[in-house]
Amino acid sequence: MKMNELEKLVNEGVDQLPPLERRTFLRAGFAITGLFLGGSILSLTSVRTTQAAVPGSAYTSGAYPYKPHYSMVMRQNLCVDCQLCMDACVKTNHVPDYGYRTIILEQERSIGENAQETIFIPVLCNQCNEPPCVRVCPTVATYKDKTHGIVVMDDKKCIGCKTCMAACPYNARYFSEERRAVDKCDFCLESRLSKGMTNTACAEACPAHVRVFGDLSDPESEVYKLVHRPETVLWVLRPETGALPNVFYMNDTVA
Q: Which of 43, 83, 191, 199 binds another protein (CB under 8 A)?
A: 83
CA 121, 155, 179, 94 torsion-angle sign: positive
Choose, by CB under 8 A, the member of 39, 55, 81, 235 that binds another protein.
Answer: 81
The helix, strand and coil proportions of the chain, stated in percent and rounded to the nearest 5, come to 30, 20, 55
Instruction: Check binding of 82 to another protein (CB under 8 A).
Output: yes
| DSSP category for residue 67 | S
What distance in Å separates the CA atoms of residue 60 and residue 44, rounded to the nearest whole number?
25
Interacting span for another protein (CB under 8 A) from 2-10, 46-54, 72-80, 177-185? 72-80
From the list 20-28, 77-85, 123-131, 139-147, the region that binds another protein by CB under 8 A is 77-85
Site string for another protein, 179-218 (x = CB under 8 A): ----------------------------xx----------
Q: Is 79 one of the binding residues for another protein (CB under 8 A)?
A: yes
Report yes or no: 194 and 70 within 8 Å, Cβ to Cβ: no
Closest approach, Cβ 112 to another protein, in A, equals 13
Q: Omega before 219 cis (within 30°)?
A: no
Nearest to 200 by CA among 209, 212, 210: 212
The CA distance from 151 to 131, in Å, is 8
x/- string (CB under 8 A) for another protein, residues 112-141? -----xxxx---------------------
CA distance 40 to 242: 12
Report the nearest approach of another protein to the CB of residue 99 (Å): 17
Examine residue 106 and tell whether it contacts another protein (CB under 8 A).
yes
According to DSSP, residue 157 is labeled T
Q: Please say which residue, 78 or 243, places its beta carbon nearer to another protein.
A: 78
206-210: list long-range contacts, CB under 8 Å, 24+ apart: 206/84, 206/85, 207/82, 207/84, 208/75, 208/78, 208/79, 208/80, 208/254, 209/75, 209/78, 209/255, 210/74, 210/75, 210/76, 210/78, 210/79, 210/85, 210/122
Q: Tell me the site size for another protein, rule CB under 8 A.
A: 18
Q: Does 84 bind another protein (CB under 8 A)?
A: yes
Of the two residues 63 and 233, which places its CB atom closer to another protein in the complex?
Answer: 233
Q: Can you tell me which of 88, 95, 104, 128 binds another protein, judged by CB under 8 A? A: 104
Regarding 253 and contact with another protein (CB under 8 A), the answer is yes
Out of 74, 78, 124, 193, point to the residue binding another protein (CB under 8 A): 78
Residue 110 makes contact with another protein by CB under 8 A: no
**Which residue ranges make up the site for another protein (CB under 8 A)?**
77-84, 104, 106, 117-120, 207-208, 253-254
